[in-house]
Structure formats: structure tokens, C-alpha cells
Amino acid sequence: LRPGEPVDLDNCAREPIHVPGLVQPRGVLLVVRESDGRLLQVSANVEQRLGATPDAVLGRPLSEVLGADAAAQVLRHAASATDLASRNPLTLRLDRWDGVGPDVDAVLHRPPLLAGGTGAEPVLVVELEAATGTRPLSFPSTYLAARQALSDFERAATLGELYDDVSRHVRDLTGFDRVMIYRFDAAYNGEVVAEARRGDLNSFLGLHYPASDIPPQARALYEKNWIRLISDVDYEPAPILPTALPTTGEPLDLTHSTLRSVSPIHLEYLRNMGVRASMSISLLRDGRLWGLIACHHYAGPHEPSYEVRTTAEFLGSTLSVRLVAQAEEERGTEVSRAERVLAHLAADSRDESAPLGVAITRSGWLRRLVRADGAVVLAEGRLTSVGTVPDEDASRALVAWVLAQEAELVSTDSLPDAAPDVAAVAPGVAGVLGIVLPEGQVVLWVRDEVLRHVDWGGDPQNKEIARTEDGSVRLSPRRSFERWREVVRGHSRPWTEDQTDFATALRGHLVESLYVRGRRDLRAAE
């Protein structure tokens, strides 16, 4: 995108959101040259907030906007700390601050300078915002809230409980109307997996959204900076003056800024959802974005203080750590469960009083082994099935398709993509996992479209969704849900690597049982 080019639905993944040249006006941004403490850039609202016109203070010492004491405090702090982020915020008492006062939080960081500009002079970014925010919490109560949250996380027995605890504690701490845990799948489509909300709001739990709602450059930024607050979606952005940082000739990189002005497309999205304030916290696994804690406020602007936000961010990173451990644990449980199921199936398959297909479909074990909706067995010349499966002709078509792949193991999570003609005769089947046994015998599992598992949880046309003048709903989560529906139509939940391994292990048992059964038949014939 060239500067000034309007952002729309097609080019939004190219919007350079880390260099908007603008900040949210809840605070003031100042850029100071470290060597001499002089101002290189200021946000235009420095005039309204601190009573100093940009023209009058640019090139002048920081003390001219902050007063001598506060300026000295900032520069001393910067000089003494290499890791500024861990020591934020620095609380200042200013003579003049137009806003909630009198204390102001100064949040300091050193911005990434030009890629090629290794020689660029170090600068310091100072962002000032009201220290109290909308929800005054003293240090002890913030600390106690965090401590209580951690002990609850410790007690959570499942991932689901952990998500619930985190959303509840983040809501208690920050006072947002709705706090959601939003989890990405491998393609970055998202699902709301937990939620704490004001009692009168509709639930978003279980809703899915397409990857395009949070474009790739935004996800990349959120892997570097773990929290962002849009305290009022109706804000008038304050430009950073001058546009280019004099030492680099480039606009200031706001990757690590707390006041960064956000994408206008996203603001429209939020307004259409009826959201007045939004905050989100990155959830990471091995440094990659795994999900977000997404917070909404509807009643009006919402501005939790920097300290409260940092505590919420800390709860998010605790969740990230717990998550990896918990996911490993749940995987372990699932593997030992599957091993028990396999043992039952192996025993059943040796029951020679019944044909193999009957012996292994009599119980629910076969379906449960890989968490399928149904299973079809073609063995010893007969077709048997269990659970939700298509009719006999369609089942035979699925068997034929599996055999045609000429592999011992066949899997797809989208039959319509993999074999449109077979999908046409087997409506509703989206996922297929098959194992091929000797002499064209087959066991296959089917899964429904994932859509069938989606629950709107209340009236989808809820009143929170605003409409544009012409009456259409644009960029709302409802519309996004529709787009997600198009994207995932014909897909099942994917078969995990563990599940294909379980299928392969079952294949080993069945090959053996078929061999034993074959020998018995031979003996009987002799």
C-alpha cells in the first residue's frame, strides 16, 4: 500500500499497520534523541494535553513539555535501564496534564530503527497516559487479583476449565463487558472457546471466524507486542509530527507502542459489532500466535490503566505456559485411552464366533478409536457399519475410493475437495480415514462437516450488531461467520497424527486376526 491509498477488503492484508503515523489520543507520544534529550517527534495532541504547540517544542529539550523534574526522571530512568519494558511504567506527577490526573504513566521503549540504518542515532519513545484509567486498582489489589487467578489456574483440571478461569479473571481485573478466549486452528480460522460476559449479553461461545478477520501482518505484530488497547473506537487519531523521524527519514515504527493508532478497517468492524472499546492479548506457543484473549466493552469507552493491562498480559502468558503443559497432558490421556480401546478391538477381532465386521462393530469402540461419527467395514465379503454412515451404495463408493488410492492408509478432511464425484453420492460426509487390509478389505471412518457442531448460542441477529446507512451489515462477526461457513463448507475436523497412528495400529491387529481366521477356515476345509 502506498501512503494515502485507501484500505479496503482486498488490500487490507498489505496495510502496514506498524507505521500508521498516528496515535490514539488517550495519550501523548514523544520521541526524544537519547544523546541530548531533545524532542524529534511529538503527537499533535501534545498541545491539548500538555499545552505546548508542536512547533514550539520540536527540537527543544524534553523539559519544555514535561517540566524539569519529570524530564530528568525519564532520562535518568532510560539511561539506567537496558530492559526498559520490564520496568514500565514510570509514574510522573506533571504540572499540567489535561485528562484524568494528576498522575501520569510514562511508558518507555526504544523503537526498532530502520533495517539498513544501523548507524541511526538511538531514540527513546515516551508515551504518556493517565495513571488511573477507568478502573482504579491499587497495587495490592492488582497483586491479590493476580495471585488468586494463579491459584485457580493451578487447580483447573482441563483446558476448558483453564480457559474459563482466565476469561473470568481477566474480566474481573479489567472490567470489560465481555472477555473471550479466541483460539486459532492450523489455518488461523478462529473459534471462541471460552467467555465471561455481562449477564444481559448474547453469548459468542462456539462461534467461528475466518482467518481474514485478523490478517497476517496483524498476527505477526501480535507475536512481537502481546497486548493492544483501543479505548474508544470513535477516536480522532493524533498525527505524529513531523511524519518522518529526522534521524532515519522514515515514519516511526510503532510495533512496540501502546498508543499505536489501529487499522480503520478494524475500527469499522468493531463499530459494526457495537463495540466501543476493545483489547486483545496474544496467546503464544513456541513464539507463535496460538490465540487471543479478546475483550469488548459496549457501554462506552473503556480505559484500564497500564498496570492493569500488564497484569492481564501476565495472566495471558501464564495461560500460554500452562497450555503447553495441559495440551501435552491431554494428549497423553488420549493416547492411553486409545490404547485401551485398541486392546478391546483386538480382542473383539479374535472372536471367531462372529464375522470380523460384526465382531468389531458390535460395540462403540471402533468409532471411538479415532473419534469419528461412523465407521464402515468391508471384510470377509460383507459390509457392516456403525454410527452415522451414508447408505449402502454410498458406503461402497467410499470403500472403492479408499482402495483406488493404493495405500495402506488413506485420509482426507475434505471429501468434496479430494473426490467430488464420491462426495456427491455421500452427502454429509466430509472426513474419511481408511485402512486397507489384504484382498481389498477395508475399514473406514467418516466424519460430518464441522459446521454441524457449530452452535449459535442465542439469536444470531442480536441487537449488538449495528447496520450501515444502507441497511446492510458490513464486516460484522455475523457476516464473518457466514464467510467462515463458505470457507469451511465440506470440511470435517482434521484427523490428527495420533489418530492416523491409532488407525495404523488397528490395521496391524486386524491383519493378524484375518490371518488367524484364514488358517482356521483352511483347517476346517481340510
Q: Which stretch binds ligand BLA (CB under 6 A): 274-282, 314-322, 372-380, 508-516?
A: 274-282
253 counts as binding ligand BLA under rule CB under 6 A = no
Please identify, using beta-carbon distances, which residue of 248 and 480 lies nearer to ligand BLA.
480
Distance, CA of 44 to CA of 514 (rounded, Å): 80
491 phi and psi angles, rounded to 5 deg? -110, 145
Q: Closest Cα partner for 252 from 432, 40, 50, 508?
A: 40
195 counts as binding ligand BLA under rule CB under 6 A = no
Element (H, E) at 412: strand 409-412
Element (H, E) at 190: strand 190-197
Please identify, using beta-carbon distances, which residue of 211 and 451 lies nearer to ligand BLA.
211
Sign of CA dihedral 210, 214, 217, 222: negative
Shortest Cβ distance from residue 156 to ligand BLA (Å)? 23
Distance, CA of 88 to CA of 79 (rounded, Å): 14
Binding-site member from 39, 113, 292, 446 for ligand BLA (CB under 6 A): 292
90 counts as binding ligand BLA under rule CB under 6 A = no
Shortest Cβ distance from residue 41 to ligand BLA (Å)? 20
Helix locations, 351-419, DSSP H: 356-361, 365-369, 392-404, 415-418
Distance, CA of 179 to CA of 136 (rounded, Å): 19
Binding-site member from 105, 213, 449, 464 for ligand BLA (CB under 6 A): 213
Angle between helices 139-155 and 306-349 (to 10 degrees): 0
Binding-site member from 37, 215, 316, 490 for ligand BLA (CB under 6 A): 215
Q: Which stretch binds ligand BLA (CB under 6 A): 12-20, 72-80, 309-317, 338-346?
A: 12-20
209 counts as binding ligand BLA under rule CB under 6 A = yes
15 counts as binding ligand BLA under rule CB under 6 A = yes
30 counts as binding ligand BLA under rule CB under 6 A = no
Is-contact 124 254, C-beta < 8 A? no
Give bridge partners of residue 208 from the DSSP assignment. 191
Q: Closest Cα partner for 144 from 172, 117, 183?
A: 172
Distances (CA, A) of 188 to 6, 160, 209, 316, 409: 25, 20, 9, 19, 27
Is-contact 503 496, C-beta < 8 A? no
Binding-site member from 294, 341, 359, 397 for ligand BLA (CB under 6 A): 294
Binding-site member from 265, 358, 403, 473 for ligand BLA (CB under 6 A): 265
205 counts as binding ligand BLA under rule CB under 6 A = no
Q: Which stretch binds ligand BLA (CB under 6 A): 261-269, 298-306, 399-407, 439-447?
A: 261-269
Q: Report how many residues bind ligand BLA under the rule CB under 6 A.
A: 27
Distance, CA of 341 to CA of 492 (rounded, Å): 23
231 counts as binding ligand BLA under rule CB under 6 A = no
280 counts as binding ligand BLA under rule CB under 6 A = yes
255 counts as binding ligand BLA under rule CB under 6 A = no
Binding-site member from 26, 183, 228, 309 for ligand BLA (CB under 6 A): 228
Please identify, using beta-carbon distances, which residue of 445 and 484 lies nearer to ligand BLA.
484
**Under rule CB under 6 A, which residues in 444-483 are in contact with ligand BLA?**
475, 477, 480
Binding-site member from 190, 237, 390, 490 for ligand BLA (CB under 6 A): 190
Q: Which stretch binds ligand BLA (CB under 6 A): 52-60, 204-212, 325-333, 440-448?
A: 204-212
Binding-site member from 63, 203, 263, 500 for ligand BLA (CB under 6 A): 263
189 counts as binding ligand BLA under rule CB under 6 A = no
Please identify, using beta-carbon distances, which residue of 13 and 327 lies nearer to ligand BLA.
13
Is-contact 332 164, C-beta < 8 A? no
Give me the residue label for grid cell 515514519.
251
Give bridge partners of residue 91 from the DSSP assignment. 105
Sign of CA dihedral 128, 230, 100, 130: negative
176 counts as binding ligand BLA under rule CB under 6 A = no
Distance, CA of 191 to CA of 245 (rounded, Å): 40
Q: Closest Cα partner for 397 from 415, 413, 381?
A: 415
230 counts as binding ligand BLA under rule CB under 6 A = yes
Give bridge partners of residue 281 from the DSSP assignment. 227, 293
What are the residues binding ligand BLA (CB under 6 A)? Answer: 9, 12, 15, 17, 190, 204, 209, 212-215, 218, 228, 230, 262-263, 265-266, 269, 278-280, 292, 294, 475, 477, 480
